[in-house]
Amino acid sequence: MTFRRATTQVHLWTGIAIGLYVLVISISGSAIVWRRELDAALCGRCEPHFLTWIVELHDHLLLGHVGVFWNGIGAIVVAIMCISGAVIWWPRRGQWWRRMSIRRGVSGRQFIWDLHSMLGFWMFLLIVIWVITSIYFAFPDLFAWVGDEVLVTMVRLHFGRAYGPVVRTLWVIFGLVPCALFITGALMWWNRTLRPYLQGRFARMRSLRSATD
């Protein structure tokens, strides 16, 4: 097995293993970007119970303090997925723009691949920031060597609340991109692996039935 093929398998199976986690974290994270404004609009000085539930889901996975640890583990797995995805994405000479955009007139399968590659490229840095800060929240001692100002800036970027309404709105949208990456990745897996396997299996079953009739 070549290095690229092995990396593809790592990317595929980490994506499958962590897919539900990515969906939960992405959707809940987008939902609470405007948390303070929602508090004021819906409940004045208090916080609605459903919003508190979403915050606990995002921050602690509804597991209490131990949820921070599991969020850190999840972020590490996502980091592995990001690194393996970057290796798979890396283009040959002269094909950079092809991997950074969606081409016209391509098949449905190729469109899904192009969309997955494009979103992964343009969102890579922001996803890395989210991953690093999530690991920091769970394991702060690992970042003792990093300057405080760097950490403060990255934490602010994680939440997106300190840079005005335009950035917050973008963060709501960008926060859903990992969901799109998971969905397009799942469709690619279905088209390339699962559907051919099932078709072959059904074909063999039909052949066996025909032979026994």
Q: What's the pLDDT at 147?
A: 86
What CA–CA distance (Å, rounded) separates 106 from 169?
32
> How many Å apart are CA 208 and CA 35, to the nearest integer?
59
Output the pLDDT for position 19: 92
Distances (CA, A) of 32 to 27, 38, 40, 172: 9, 8, 13, 8
Token duo for residue 65: 């303090």
The pLDDT assigned to 55 comes to: 94
pLDDT tens-digit readout, 140-170: 999 999 989 999 999 999 999 888 999 999 9
How far apart CA 210 and CA 213 sit, in angstroms, is 5
Domain boundaries, the chain: 3-204
Q: What is the pLDDT along the chain (213 residues), one digit of tens a residue?
A: 788 889 988 998 899 889 999 999 999 999 999 988 888 888 877 888 889 999 999 999 999 999 999 999 999 999 999 999 999 999 888 788 888 899 888 999 999 999 999 999 999 999 999 999 999 999 999 999 998 999 999 999 999 988 899 999 999 999 999 999 999 999 998 888 888 878 887 878 887 777 776
At residue 96, the pLDDT reads 83
> Model's pTM, two decimal places?
0.88
Q: What number of residues does the chain have?
A: 213
Q: 11 and 139 in contact (C-beta within 8 Å)?
A: no
